[in-house]
Amino acid sequence: MKIGIVCYPTFGGSGVVATELGLELSKRGHEIHFITYSQPVRLELLSNNVHYHEVNVPEYPLFLYQPYELALSSKLVDMVKLHHIEILHVHYAIPHAYAAYMAKKMLQEDGIYVPIVTTLHGTDITLVGSHPFYKPAVTFSINKSDAVTSVSQSLKDDTLRLFNIKNDIEVVPNFIDLSKHENNFTDCQRDMMATEDEKIITHISNFREVKQIPDVIKVFYNIQKEMPAKLMMVGEGPEREPAERLCAKLGISDKVIFFGNSNEIDKILCFSDLFLLPSLTESFGLAALEAMASGVPVISSNTGGIPEVNISGVSGYLSAVNDIDSMSKNAIHILSDAKRLATFKRNAKEASKKFGIHQVVPQYEKIYEDTLRKCMVL
């Protein structure tokens, strides 16, 4: 199949999932066209069946906001015609599903029919999409998609609760290439980060308010009172600076390393003992799954789709949002006993296997095939 993938190219779960999906589909013989405003961060290798088409938005002083949707839908029309793309898979409803629908309508004028698969990722529904300013357009574009998927059952339930949806929504969970996390804990250069007796705690996110960064710091503050420990903070976003200030205020700056964005997540996870994800809301928690695949237990909130990934008492523990005491106690419980920590590490890795790339990507292939077949019949 010739598949067009539209996503956000920056650091963030939806772009990562879209990129990994495209790369795996290309390995399975499909021709993949990424269409977005800059090269997706995990898209390192372009090959003869992986293409990247940049959407450019010319600046014009009349516009307070440059019309990205317009440029994207025009680019989609051009790329579908030029490369004979058969199906468009858009990740994140805003504004991708909307732009894809416009492209589809324009193409129909020329007798070309290209179906749209929309994958809902989380904030496009829970935080941004349900805002009254966007809701009618988001509802419309979900209902006009030829197939809709969501990354967890929880996100599907949220979508049906918050919007008037007439389409079916199929749950296709996020996935991970387990082979990329096949570390044996010997080549991690752990000693560059911490002494042998220090536990390494890690948090990875885009440092938005929803990630509850102060809770990460406070839980770590409680942990380091009980045992020698270091905190690895990976990612960039508006909450980074306040977090650095909070560390200084608590007197723990020398124990916290802020990495910024990193393409070496697997290396950082390789030497981590525990992962913290205390988010306010989280449709899935791809970062938690990546941690688990690297054998890192997860202390998280019990919000949204996280309980579908992190199994309390097995791969880590779940606590109510903002329950810092409970998260700290659970973290200390896991870390304070070497045998227990080893068991949680093994369990976390085992639990991640359910989300292997080879189990999940065929589900998307089937959706493309069914959608193309359905659209041919209509």
Q: Is 95 in the site for ligand GMT (CB under 6 A)?
A: no
Q: Are the C-beta atoms of 356 and 176 separated by less than 8 Å?
A: yes
Answer for which of 26, 36, 206, 347 binds ligand GMT (CB under 6 A) is: 206
Q: How far apart are CA 290 and CA 205, in angstroms?
A: 12
Q: How far is the CB of 151 from ligand GMT (least distance, A)?
A: 4
Q: Is the peptide bond before 95 cis (omega within 30 degrees of 0)?
A: yes
Beta-bridge mates of residue 312: 316
Gyration radius of the chain's alpha carbons = 21
* DSSP, residue by residue, 71-140: HHHHHHHHHHHHHT--EEEEESHHHHHHHHHHHHHHHHHTT----EEEEE-SHHHHTTTTSTTTHHHHHH
Residue 360, interface with ligand GMT (CB under 6 A)?
no
Interaction between residue 13 and ligand GMT (CB under 6 A): yes
Q: Which of 3, 9, 14, 352 binds ligand GMT (CB under 6 A)?
A: 14
By CB under 6 A, is residue 239 in contact with ligand GMT?
no
For residues 251 and 221, the answer to whether their CB atoms sit within 8 Å is no
Minimum CB separation of residue 206 from ligand GMT in Å reads 5
Tell me if 281 contacts ligand GMT by CB under 6 A. Answer: yes
267 binds ligand GMT (CB under 6 A): no
Among 121, 218, 230, 349, binds ligand GMT (CB under 6 A): 121
Q: What's the token pair of residue 10?
A: 């920056």
Query: Shortest distance, CB of residue 270 to ligand GMT, whole angstroms?
Result: 21
Number of residues in contact with ligand GMT under rule CB under 6 A? 21
Q: What distance in Å separates the CA atoms of residue 116 and residue 274, rounded to the nearest whole number?
A: 39
Rounded-to-integer distance, Cα 278 and Cα 21, Å: 27
Q: Name the minimum Å distance from CB 291 to ligand GMT.
A: 12
What whole-number distance in Å separates Cα of residue 202 and Cα of residue 130?
A: 31
CB nearer ligand GMT, residue 85 or residue 148? 148
Q: Exposed/middle/buried for 29, CB within 10 Å: 0-12, 13-18, 19+?
A: exposed
Torsions phi, psi for 355 (to 5 deg): -110, 30
Vertex 175: Cα angle to 171 and 180 (nearest 5) = 175
Q: Which of 83, 135, 208, 354 binds ligand GMT (CB under 6 A)?
A: 208
Query: Which residue, among 306, 310, 6, 350, has the nearest Cα to 152 in the 3D structure?
Result: 306
Is residue 123 close enough to count as binding ligand GMT by CB under 6 A? yes
Choose which of 17, 85, 296, 331 interacts with ligand GMT (CB under 6 A): 17
Asked if 151 is part of the footprint of ligand GMT (rule: CB under 6 A), the reply reads: yes
Element (H, E) at 202: strand 199-204
92 contacts ligand GMT (rule: CB under 6 A): yes
Residue 123 or residue 139: which is nearer to ligand GMT going by CB?
123
**C-alpha–C-alpha distance, residues 2 and 6, integer Å:** 13
User: Residue 196 Cβ, how far from ligand GMT at the closest point, in Å?
Assistant: 33
Question: Could you say whether residue 21 binds ligand GMT (CB under 6 A)?
Answer: no
Told to check if 272 binds ligand GMT by CB under 6 A, we report no
In terms of C-beta density within 10 A (0-12 exposed, 13-18 middle, 19 or more buried), how is residue 268 classed? buried
CB 21 → ligand GMT: shortest distance, Å? 11
Binding mask 34-73 for ligand GMT (x = CB under 6 A): ----------------------------------------
283 binds ligand GMT (CB under 6 A): yes
Binding mask of the shown chain, residues 210 to 229, with x at each position contacting ligand GMT by CB under 6 A: x-------------------
Shortest spacing between CB 174 and ligand GMT, in angstroms: 5
* Residues near ligand GMT (CB under 6 A): 12-15, 17, 92, 121-123, 126, 151, 174, 206, 208, 210, 281-286
